[in-house]
Each structure stands twice: as structure tokens, then as C-alpha cells.
Amino acid sequence: MALELYNTLTRTKEKFFPLNPPKVSLYTCGPTVYNIPHIGNYRAYIFADILRRTLAYNHYEVMHVMNLTDVDDKTIRDSQAAKKSLKEFTELYTNEFFKDRDTLNIIPAVKYTKATDYISQMVALTETLLAKEYAYRGDDGSIYFNIKKDPSYGKLSNITIEKLEDNASGRIKKDEYDKENAQDFALWKMWDEADGDVFWETPLGKGRPGWHIECSAMSMTTLGETLDIHTGGMDNMFPHHENEIAQSECATGKPFSRFFLHNGLLLVDGKKMSKSLGNFYSLRDLIDKGYDPLAYRLWLLTSHYRTLTNFSLEALKGSETALKRLYREFLALDSQSTTGHINEAYKEKFLAFINDDLDTPRALTVMWDILKDTAVSDADKKATLLDFDKVLGLKLADQKEEPLSEEVKTLARRRKEARIKKDFKESDTLRKQIEELGYEVKDTEDGQEIHAIL
């Protein structure tokens, strides 16, 4: 089945074909590196990771670029509060992000672009918009994009022109605002005292870029003027992605991104998980509470990426149990001696689900179904599950039985002797002792087998 993706631009599921196969250009709005991301942010990156893995599973070569917003209103404000240089401050949080990324088994982007490395491209784009009269210099010296000059402004988030006429009364220098405040937005912000030592001397004047122009410049410089896919969380749709589209398309005269994909938000008690509401967990919080970080990944995969999902520790506990069961059943597959083959019937089902706009909840059912299927050999199950894990990223290949401790080995030897003597009372007592140490005992035709209880 061909890959279909829900395109926010058209509000429909569309067949996906890249512009230049087998290459796919994929741009993901990355973190603003001003604090430790919360697990809601990781929903956006795990979704982008599943997309990237699915594209690769469909034999595409994915050029995945993710930006790091290392200059904006928030990074400047908080670096000053921390009395650190912008560079030192943002590098600290970039490293924290990379650590969490690896812990969650997110494949690194092919390229990470730091906004501060692309200032000249942002200036050039702003100059083009000035020359084409889509932008103007305000009386505060900053340069703004004139949204009324762009007839298609609002097409992503579906704001109507009438509504715009009512509300677009002024201009806004802040990076973040809501739909009700659609206004001319800043491309280049003239320096003021609040910016301290953060500025660039450029032909546009002494200042810094607005947040939205950063992503347009970085994505088009690295991936070309028309991208195949652009991703981010639903909260990025307006104003960030709307503004990216407007300034990019007005500058180039070409479509900016053929597909826009947005993940639903992670909620807590029905409200968006966010730093400002204080209702968040970091990945470290979950680890400190004893959860396997991949249980969070598995939990996310049990909902479709576009849904709003309510996070709770109880729900996470359920996924932790499921993950351990998966690992246990995977390790119990007896396939040392034979090489397995991918079961084509199961693969077909898995592919159909994952290619249906990344339907991970249904793809996971295929994984559980093959584990239960007695008609499939253990070796084939193993090969098929490892193949599915290229998309799911649950680290099945890394699961290894720990070697038995001397204590368990001694108990096992004594139990074997007891069974030879048909002393079943003693053998049961020894079984219990082994279980108390965290192992289960199975009696098979070839003798007793001992596995760790995960």
C-alpha cells in the first residue's frame, strides 16, 4: 500500500510522493534551547522519528533537518537571568536535548541547524521581501512582514481574510501570539536594551532575526526552496508555520512545503502540558520514578499521532508492563539455531497500517498478533519483529538475557539433581527460591530452562 499522510494544508489524507525520489526532504521544527524539554515536546520529536523511520521503511532516503532555536525572545531573556552568554546557555540545553533524544531512541537528524549559524541567510531573505515590498520598516526601526500583501495568508490555519481585516490592526514584535492577534510580524528586530549583548551588525541594521524567519532561512538553505514535508506540533501551526509559509512563498514565488504534518498535543487533565502551566514532567522525572523511557515511547505509539492524548503515570505504568512483556516474549523466542525469514503476510499488514498516516496503534496489534501465532516459527517471529522495530524503535535487538548469577546456577543444579531423584517437594522449594531471585523456571523436553522475569 502506498504511503498516505494527512496534510494539514488540505485537511485530507494524501498519497505521498517526494519531489525528487528516492530522496525526501523533511524539516522538523526543533527545540528552543532555553530549558530542559518536557515529555510533551518529545511527542513532537518521536512523531517525526516515526515518520522518518516509516519513510526509510518505504525505501526513501530521508534528508532530515532539525533546527535548534538558539536565539529568540526566550533564550535571550533566560540566558540573561542565568548570567550566562547566549552561546554557553543554549549549548547546555542543546546537549540535554541530545541526551534525551538518544535515551528515547530517536534517530539523530542528518543535520541540526543552529539559528545563529544562518544569520546572513535570514538577512538575505528579509532583503528580498523588502525589495518585493512584502516587508517594510516600522517606525521602531524593525522590519515587518505585511500580511495584507499576501493574498494566501492564513491558508494553513484557515484564518479568513475578513477576520484578518478585523484584527490585523497593527504589528507585533513578540515571537509568540495567538490567532486572534494576527498582525504584521517581525522579520528583523532592531536592537533594544533588553537584548543586551545579543545583536548582529548587518545591512538591515543592528539587531536580530524574528523566530519565524529563522526556520524559513534554515530549511530553504539546507533543503531547497520547496520541501517535501515540514513537521511540528499543532501549536506551531499558528503563527509559526503560517508565517514561515507567507515569508518563504512571497520571497521565492514557489510552494514552500508540499506537506505539513502536525502532531496532537499531550495533555494533563485536559490541558496542554507546558512549562507555563507547570503541569509537566521531564524525561528525567520519569526515569527517577523508575520508568523505562521506552515505555513512554511505547505509550505514545498506542495513540495516533494526531489525537490529543491525556498523560498520566497510571497509563504509563500500563505501557511499562506491556514493554516488559514484549521484551520477555521476544527473548523467549527460541531461534538460536536457525535463521528466520520475515513473514510476508504479517509484514503486509504492518506496512498497510503504518502507511495509513502512521497508524501505530494498529501496527502494534500486528506485533502482538504474530507473537501469539503458533503457526509461525520462533525464528520467523524474531526476524519479523526485528523488521517491525525498524519503524517502532523499541530496541528489541538490544535485549539480552543477563548471564545467570552463581547463586541461581547453584540452585538450578540442585533442582536438576532433585528432579533426577524424583524429589519433587525439594524441586518445588528450589523453584520458589529461584523465582524469588527474579527468574522463572520452565521444564521442557530438553531439561529446565531459566529466564529472567523482566
Q: Contact positions toward ligand AMP, by CB under 6 A? A: 29, 31-32, 40-41, 43-44, 232-233, 235-236, 263, 265-266, 272-274
Closer residue to Zn ion (CB): 38 or 230: 230
Shortest distance in whole angstroms from residue 33 CB to ligand AMP = 8
- Give the whole-angstrom CA distance, residue 54 versus residue 301: 13
State the amino acid at position 150 in one-letter form: D
With residues binned 3-state (H G I as helix, E B as strand, rest as coil), the percentages for the chain, rounded to 5, are 45, 20, 35
Which residues face 208 on adjacent strands?
A: 189
Closer residue to Zn ion (CB): 79 or 247: 247
Strands (E), 116-214: 135-137, 143-145, 171-172, 184-190, 200-202, 205-209
Partner whose binding site includes residue 273, from ligand AMP, Zn ion, none (CB under 5 to 8 Å by kind): ligand AMP
Mind spelling out the 3-state secondary structure of 337-380? CCCCCCCHHHHHHHHHHHCECCCHHHHHHHHHHHHHCCCCCHHH
Largest distance between two CA atoms of the chain: 97
Shortest distance in whole angstroms from residue 27 CB to Zn ion = 8
Shortest distance in whole angstroms from residue 296 CB to ligand AMP = 13
* Residue 35, all three cell numbers: 530549558
Closer residue to ligand AMP (CB): 232 or 239: 232
Partner whose binding site includes residue 210, from Zn ion, ligand AMP, none (CB under 5 to 8 Å by kind): none
Partner whose binding site includes residue 215, from Zn ion, ligand AMP, none (CB under 5 to 8 Å by kind): Zn ion
Closer residue to ligand AMP (CB): 223 or 266: 266
Q: Are strands 309-310 and 266-268 parallel, antiparallel or unpaired?
A: parallel
Shortest distance in whole angstroms from residue 318 CB to ligand AMP = 20
Q: Name the residue with the smallest CB distance to ligand AMP.
A: 233
Shortest distance in whole angstroms from residue 118 CB to ligand AMP = 17
Residues that bind Zn ion (CB under 5 A): 29, 215
> Mutual orientation of helices 378-392 and 344-354 as an angle, nearest 10°?
20
- Give the whole-angstrom CA distance, residue 202 versus residue 121: 11
Closer residue to Zn ion (CB): 72 or 96: 72
Partner whose binding site includes residue 233, from ligand AMP, Zn ion, none (CB under 5 to 8 Å by kind): ligand AMP
Cis peptide before 239 (omega within 30 of 0): yes
Closer residue to ligand AMP (CB): 32 or 384: 32
Partner whose binding site includes residue 355, from ligand AMP, Zn ion, none (CB under 5 to 8 Å by kind): none
Shortest distance in whole angstroms from residue 241 CB to Zn ion = 7
